[in-house]
Amino acid sequence: MRLILLGPPGAGKGTQAERLVQAYGIVQLSTGDMLREAAAERTPEGLKAHEIMARGELVPDAMVVAIVTHRIEQPDCRNGFILDGFPRTVAQAEALDLLMKERGQGIDAAIEIKVDEQVLLQRVETRVKEMTARGETLRADDNPESLSKRLVAYRAQTMPLSAYYATKGLLYTVDGMGSIDDVAAAIAAVLPTPVPGKFGRRSRT
């Protein structure tokens, strides 16, 4: 199973990816997490990415494509993966297609989680208040200003991917406004039922 999760920032892609990891025994590849790790390690690329991420903009395609290419080649991706936050531009989607072709593989489904942007903004405002009250550290881009910019980037650069995958017959759109369980059920309904031993890591020979 090789899946793509599409949806605006804050739609719950990460949470749903974790559920799919459990169900299918495949790995979650979050480019946001990979970039934050690079930033924490203070590599030159990581520091550059950190500034861009804090502004709510997208890091250059070449940087994320290189990271994903390297990651997909690791042995734990052999049984499949869930791309969470990648691709985010048509150029990234084309690079992924090429990568898959070179590896003789393909994407099984692109699942788009649809949510109301106004609700996302309300959620981030509440989270900022609650976390600040508890004295917790927020992500540099977890505030209403950055979220607004990330939504602009999403609309301009990522939303065209819905049509891109629809044309390939791979797009499945689910309502992301329900509970975590409801959204997980909606996603499960469009995917093949996990068969123990078929998709799981244990199937490795």
Active site residues: 13, 88, 127, 139, 150
Nearer to ligand AMP, 6 or 171 (CB): 6
User: Closest CB to ligand AMP belongs to which residue?
Assistant: 32
- Comparing CA positions, the residue from 111, 91, 102 lying closest to residue 170 is 111
Q: Which residue in 16, 28, 31, 79 binds ligand AMP (CB under 6 A)? A: 31
Contact 82/22 with Cβ under 8 angstroms? Answer: no
Burial (0-12, 13-18, 19+ Cβ within 10 Å), 132: exposed
String marking each residue 70-99 x if it binds ligand AMP according to CB under 6 A: ---------------xx-x---x-------
Nearer to ligand AMP, 32 or 80 (CB): 32
- Comparing CA positions, the residue from 204, 172, 10 lying closest to residue 107 is 172
Q: Which residue in 53, 110, 151, 183 binds ligand AMP (CB under 6 A)? A: 53
Contact 3/140 with Cβ under 8 angstroms? Answer: no
Cα separation values, 150 from 9, 37, 56, 86, 96, Å: 7, 20, 5, 14, 22
Q: Please state the closest distance from residue 92 (CB atom) to ligand AMP, in A.
A: 6
Select the span of 58-66, 95-103, 124-132, 168-176 touching ligand AMP (CB under 6 A): 58-66
Nearer to ligand AMP, 2 or 88 (CB): 88
Nearer to ligand AMP, 2 or 199 (CB): 2
Strand 2-6 to 81-84 pairing: parallel
If one asks whether residue 32 binds ligand AMP (CB under 6 A), the answer comes out as yes
Cα separation values, 182 from 185, 186, 187, Å: 5, 6, 9
Q: Which residue in 23, 52, 140, 159 binds ligand AMP (CB under 6 A)? A: 52
Strands, sheet with 171-175, edge to edge from the N-terminal-most edge strand: 27-30, 81-84, 2-6, 109-114, 171-175
Contact 191/107 with Cβ under 8 angstroms? Answer: no
If one asks whether residue 150 binds ligand AMP (CB under 6 A), the answer comes out as yes
Binding residues for ligand AMP (CB under 6 A): 9, 31-32, 35, 52-53, 56-59, 64, 85-86, 88, 92, 141, 150
